[in-house]
Amino acid sequence: MAGPYPTKCVGSIRLDSHLARTRTLIDSELAHNLANYSHLALFEQVKYAVLSPGKRLRSILVILSSEAVQGTMEQTMPLAIAFEFIHTATLIHDDLIDEGETRRGLRTVYDVWGRDIAVLTGDALIAMGINLAANYGRRILEITSQAALDLCDGQFMDISRSHLAETEDNYFVRIRKKSAALFKAAAWCGALCAGATEEEAERLSSFGEDFGIAYQIVDDCMDFLDENYNPLREGFTLPLIYMKGDETIRGIEAWEVLRRKRAVSTPKVFVEQTRSEALAKCERKIGYYINKALLDIRGLRYSEYKTYLGDLAESLWTMMPKMSFQGNV
């Protein structure tokens, strides 16, 4: 009997239409799956966190990677939900560490219920995600749990590093764990779930990692351009690493200009020029990893879903409408 999932006959449906429908189905399945946990004392907090608005990129990547190797959304959806649970848990724990009060325009679990409840809610969601992933066999469970472990390791590196000693190399080691690991696992597991060959799974795994790295740099640049950007809260992300890396400007002076808008020995006009140059370097890195992601999947057999994956990678540019690297930043 036909279900609510799209068939393989997608024809010329554009990426945004396919993603919109996929996202709607994910949201519906999240609500449906949550009903299985209504007995939990933490159900209110779990439901609040999971059903908050989001891009659902990791769960979408699970599904698209499966579809790219002839899998179906129906067989992959529970695995996609597992990744959404784990990702939501990381957001809760990030807000807890940062003492964040809002996310996506809503109060965080930490702000509404406090530190202890936030810890337990995140822990519950990780357990829920691992439980769903276990239904797909040992290998997928191992990949998923390793990604969760990498996330913890990357987060530890994030909070324990010395900001002024942060380097480009250290940054990429950290974001491969903290940010790209879950994207990598999502694409990898989606492929394996659909019965992909080892070569196909490896290609999609690499795609997920490179997409995740590019995505994080884009996110760093968007934060950097925000008038409320505060390095004390955000840390030395890639734009500021490049900015302080210029031998003609001290890292601490760049920090003070951006954080307090106060006068320092370096002229403000020079700071703005250096800032623009740093963003230009970030743009080149973003382009490098987007192109690398496209090369990762070049060897896959042609399908509409392979095209969607490539379009998804290139769509990262659309996340940066206010970025300008040619002087006015």
Q: Residue 19, Cβ neighbours under 10 Å: how many?
A: 21
In a domain, 326, yes or no: no
Tell me how far apart the alpha carbons of residues 171 and 236 are, in angstroms, rounded to a whole number.
Answer: 9
Give the mean model confidence (pLDDT) for residues 199-209: 98
In a domain, 7, yes or no: no
Tell me how far apart the alpha carbons of residues 177 and 149 are, in angstroms, rounded to a whole number.
Answer: 9
DSSP labels, 112-129: HH-HHHHHHHHHHHHHHH
Give the mean model confidence (pLDDT) for residues 69-97: 95
pLDDT given at position 253: 54
The encoded tokens of residue 328 equal 């006015």
In a domain, 2, yes or no: no
pLDDT given at position 264: 46
In a domain, 98, yes or no: yes
pLDDT given at position 265: 47
In a domain, 211, yes or no: yes
pLDDT given at position 161: 63
* 48, 109 contact by CB (below 8 A): yes
Among the residue ranges 20-29, 117-126, 160-169, 245-254, the one predicted with the least confidence is 245-254
Question: Does residue 258 have a pLDDT over 80?
Answer: no
Model confidence band, residue 135 (pLDDT cutoffs 50, 70, 90): very high
* 220, 289 contact by CB (below 8 A): no
Tell me how far apart the alpha carbons of residues 268 and 271 are, in angstroms, rounded to a whole number.
Answer: 5
pLDDT, tens digit (0-9, with 9 covering 90-100), for 18-69? 899 999 999 999 999 999 999 999 999 999 999 999 999 999 999 999 999 9
DSSP labels, 276-317: HHHHHHHHHHHHHHHHHHHHHTTTSPP-HHHHHHHHHHHGGG
In a domain, 40, yes or no: yes
Give the mean model confidence (pLDDT) for residues 263-278: 59
* 190, 147 contact by CB (below 8 A): no
Question: Does residue 292 have a pLDDT over 60?
Answer: yes
Tell me how far apart the alpha carbons of residues 127 and 132 are, in angstroms, rounded to a whole number.
Answer: 9
Quote the mean pLDDT of the chain: 85
Q: Return the closest-CA partner of residue 325 out of 271, 282, 270.
A: 282
Question: Does residue 89 have a pLDDT over 70?
Answer: yes
Q: Return the closest-CA partner of residue 315 out of 9, 18, 10.
A: 18
In a domain, 9, yes or no: no
Please work out, in degrees rounded to the nearest 5, the angle formed at the alpha carbon of residue 295 by the alpha carbons of 22 and 6. Answer: 20
pLDDT given at position 321: 46
Tell me how far apart the alpha carbons of residues 204 and 273 are, in angstroms, rounded to a whole number.
Answer: 39
In a domain, 4, yes or no: no
Number of domains in the chain: 1
Task: Look up the CATH number of the domain holding residue 50.
Answer: 1.10.600.10
Question: Does residue 325 have a pLDDT over 70?
Answer: no
Q: Return the closest-CA partner of residue 254 out of 174, 321, 163, 323.
A: 163
Model confidence band, residue 14 (pLDDT cutoffs 50, 70, 90): confident
Question: Does residue 13 have a pLDDT over 70?
Answer: no
Query: Which residues form the domain of 313?
Result: 15-319
pLDDT, tens digit (0-9, with 9 covering 90-100), for 156-184? 888 876 555 678 888 999 999 999 999 99
